[in-house]
């Protein structure tokens, strides 16, 4: 099969949501439809997510942190579908942000009871930043939730994206009777089934078909006709180009737990979702059908077995064909690397692969050569763009408790923050190290790993900081501001200056008093000054 044919059959996407909205359950049902698992519950029991047998560190066992495989692959209707797993817990939001750099589209899961939540808004900011196409699945229709029209208004208002309903629910909770498919006039009647695939469809000639009244009752049939007429008047037909340009998000309703509304979602996704797309680098745009291989590292996952300190680097193939044992150029290190045992994930297992194509994600054993954002090519000097750092929410200063182990501590904190576990900022004079995360849990993990993997004892002292903001503007203006606010300036790992604002008020004052400087809460921009 040609590279063009391989590309045309691939769909690589992430499922994102606020915790407990149903992301894991939806992932499971996709695998059920793809025939990769036979019973529900496999995802939650981690049966399909096993990595190599590893003795994960004790703190993870105590906390029950998910260390699941980051990608699952299945075939459906002739397409090869790659699902990239994203942690739902907000403490691991940074990991989710990076995973979104490796996908071509997204399915966003919304809890119909809770509506749009804080974490959902942040994830959508990343999608908008990249113009990533989004399909919305409003979940848990078997519970009493918000009015569907109110949910659509909330999606548009809070997520800053136009929506387009593709299906429409008939009641909710105990009275939930099914969904009507607006695009093809099918009625899917609700049947609670957590384990099997249901296809109880009634194809209606139109909404005046008398079978509608028979199936759902006169009252609900009348309400559905009124709702459908209103939807038709407001939304019309879906324009696929608007979806692909991330201007419009198709919306589906259903219940992932009960296997309901999933097939409509999956069938539409297979039809609409983009194939692997071109990606920007520091020198040019890379098209997926180019003959030469390129790819980038978007995630590094430590194998926390103390007996084997290897790491897994996750590579997104962007162009050409990746081949086992073939030497590639590690652009940042300017050296040749080759991989004897690259592997991909096929639902229940990981398999060593001989080749991979654009859209695929390959696991590479890493001995410390990679950091997030690294690019591999067949010799061309370029780096893929678009893997930002975000302003953390919690800041603490790294305090060395054993001066004899200073080198070990320095090496450890550099390598662990290379994995994306946290952000590292250095302030001069004195080379003070500030670590920023989005959750307290990372500090415990960092402290544990620094001691047990690097032999370096430390503690983290809280610091009163509100935001770390990258700055852009005229070079002289930015440098003058930095000189004036020297005590609030630090440098990130890429050598970019960062303004550490202690409070929201201080940040607002800095913005108002320095209108020629832009303060960014992520590093995805052209910096006005460099180290």
H helix or E strand, kind and range, residue 110: strand 105-111
pTM: 0.79
Q: What residues have CB less than 8 Å from 422, skipping those under 6 apart?
A: 94, 392, 416, 435, 436, 437, 442, 443, 446
Mean pLDDT of 321-344: 94
Residue 345, strand partner residues: 350
**Helix residue spans in 100-217 (DSSP H):** 118-130, 148-159, 210-216
How does pLDDT run across 238-260, given as a tens digit for each residue? Answer: 999 999 999 999 999 998 888 88
- Cβ atoms 91, 442 nearer than 8 A: yes
Per the model's pLDDT, the better-predicted residue between 407 and 129 turns out to be 407
**Can you spell out the DSSP letters for 309-337?**
--EEEEEEEEES-EETT--EEETTTTEEE
**CA-closest candidate to residue 421, choices 57, 142, 40:** 57
pLDDT at 347 over 70: no
The domain segmentation of the chain, as residue ranges, is 3-50+65-272, 279-377, 394-520
Peptide bond into 429 cis (omega under 30): yes
Computed on alpha carbons and rounded to an integer, the radius of gyration of the chain in Å comes to 25
Among 312-316, 446-450, 479-483, which range has the highest average pLDDT?
479-483
Instruction: Kindly tell me the sign of the dihedral angle through the C-alpha atoms of 70, 76, 78, 79.
Output: negative
Same fold, 279-377 and 394-520: no
Beta strands in 254-409 (DSSP E): 279-280, 285-286, 294-302, 311-319, 322-323, 328-330, 335-337, 343-346, 349-352, 355-356, 361-366, 375-377, 394-400
**CA-closest candidate to residue 310, choices 374, 350, 369, 372:** 369
Residue 498, strand partner residues: 470, 490
CATH H-level superfamily of 279-377: P-loop containing nucleotide triphosphate hydrolases (3.40.50.300)
Architecture of the domain defined by 3-50+65-272: 3-Layer(aba) Sandwich (3.40)
Cα separation, 259 vs 193, whole angstroms: 6
Cα separation, 316 vs 515, whole angstroms: 39
pLDDT at 366 over 80: yes
Torsions phi, psi of 29, nearest 5? -70, -30
Please report which confidence band the pLDDT of residue 273 belongs to, taking 50, 70 and 90 as the band edges. Answer: very high
Residue 522 DSSP label: B
3-state secondary structure of 57: coil
How does pLDDT run across 51-85, given as a tens digit for each residue? Answer: 333 334 454 445 544 444 467 888 899 999 998 87
State percent of the chain over pLDDT 70: 85
The yes or no reply on domain 394-520 and CATH 3.30.70.3280 is: yes
């Amino acid at each position: 099969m040609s590279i063009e044919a391989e590309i045309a059959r691939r769909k690589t996407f992430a499922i994102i949501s606020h915790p407990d909205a149903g992301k894991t359950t939806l992932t499971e049902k996709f695998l059920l439809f793809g025939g990769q698992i036979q019973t529900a519950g496999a995802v939650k029991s981690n049966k399909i997510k096993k990595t190599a047998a590893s003795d994960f560190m004790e703190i993870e066992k105590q906390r029950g942190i998910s260390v699941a495989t980051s990608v699952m692959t299945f075939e459906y209707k002739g397409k090869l579908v790659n699902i990239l797993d994203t942690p739902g817990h907000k403490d691991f939001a940074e990991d989710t942000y990076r995973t979104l750099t490796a996908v071509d589209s997204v399915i966003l899961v919304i809890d119909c009871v809770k509506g749009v939540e804080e974490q959902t808004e942040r994830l959508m900011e990343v999608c908008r930043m990249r113009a990533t196409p989004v399909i919305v699945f409003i979940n848990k229709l078997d519970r009493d939730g918000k009015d569907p029209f109110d949910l659509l208004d909330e999606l548009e208002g809070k997520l800053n994206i136009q929506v387009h309903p593709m299906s429409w629910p008939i009641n909710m909770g105990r009275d939930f009777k099914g969904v009507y498919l607006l695009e093809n006039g099918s009625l899917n009647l609700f049947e609670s089934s957590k384990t099997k695939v249901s296809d109880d469809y009634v194809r209606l000639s139109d909404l005046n078909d008398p079978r509608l009244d028979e199936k759902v009752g006169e009252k609900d049939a009348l309400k559905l006709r009124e709702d459908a007429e209103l939807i038709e008047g407001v939304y019309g037909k879906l324009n696929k180009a608007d979806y692909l340009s991330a201007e419009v998000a198709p919306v589906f309703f259903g219940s992932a737990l009960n296997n309901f509304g999933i097939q409509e979602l999956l069938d539409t996704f297979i039809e609409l979702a983009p194939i692997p797309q071109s990606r920007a680098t520091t020198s040019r745009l890379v098209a997926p059908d180019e003959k030469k291989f390129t790819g980038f590292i978007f995630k590094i996952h430590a194998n926390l077995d103390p007996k084997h300190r290897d790491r897994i680097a996750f590579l997104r193939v962007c162009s050409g064909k990746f081949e086992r044992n073939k030497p590639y150029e590690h652009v940042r290190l300017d050296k040749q690397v080759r991989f004897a045992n690259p592997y991909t994930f096929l639902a229940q297992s990981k398999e060593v692969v001989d080749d991979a194509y654009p859209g695929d994600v390959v696991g590479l054993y890493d001995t410390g050569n990679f950091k997030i954002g690294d690019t591999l090519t067949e010799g061309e000097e370029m780096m893929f763009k678009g893997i930002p750092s975000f302003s953390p929410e919690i800041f603490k200063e790294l305090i060395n408790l054993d001066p004899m182990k200073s080198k070990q501590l320095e090496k450890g904190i550099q390598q662990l923050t290379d994995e994306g576990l946290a952000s590292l900022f250095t302030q001069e004079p004195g080379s003070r190290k500030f670590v920023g995360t989005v959750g307290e849990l990372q500090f415990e993990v960092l402290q544990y790993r620094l001691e047990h993997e690097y032999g370096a004892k430390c503690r983290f002292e809280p610091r009163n900081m509100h935001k770390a903001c990258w700055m852009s503007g005229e070079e002289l203006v930015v440098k003058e501001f930095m000189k004036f606010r020297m005590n609030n300036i630090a440098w990130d790992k890429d050598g970019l200056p960062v303004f550490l604002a202690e409070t929201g008020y201080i940040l607002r004052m800095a913005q108002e008093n320095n209108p020629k400087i832009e303060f960014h809460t992520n590093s995805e921009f052209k910096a006005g000054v460099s180290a």
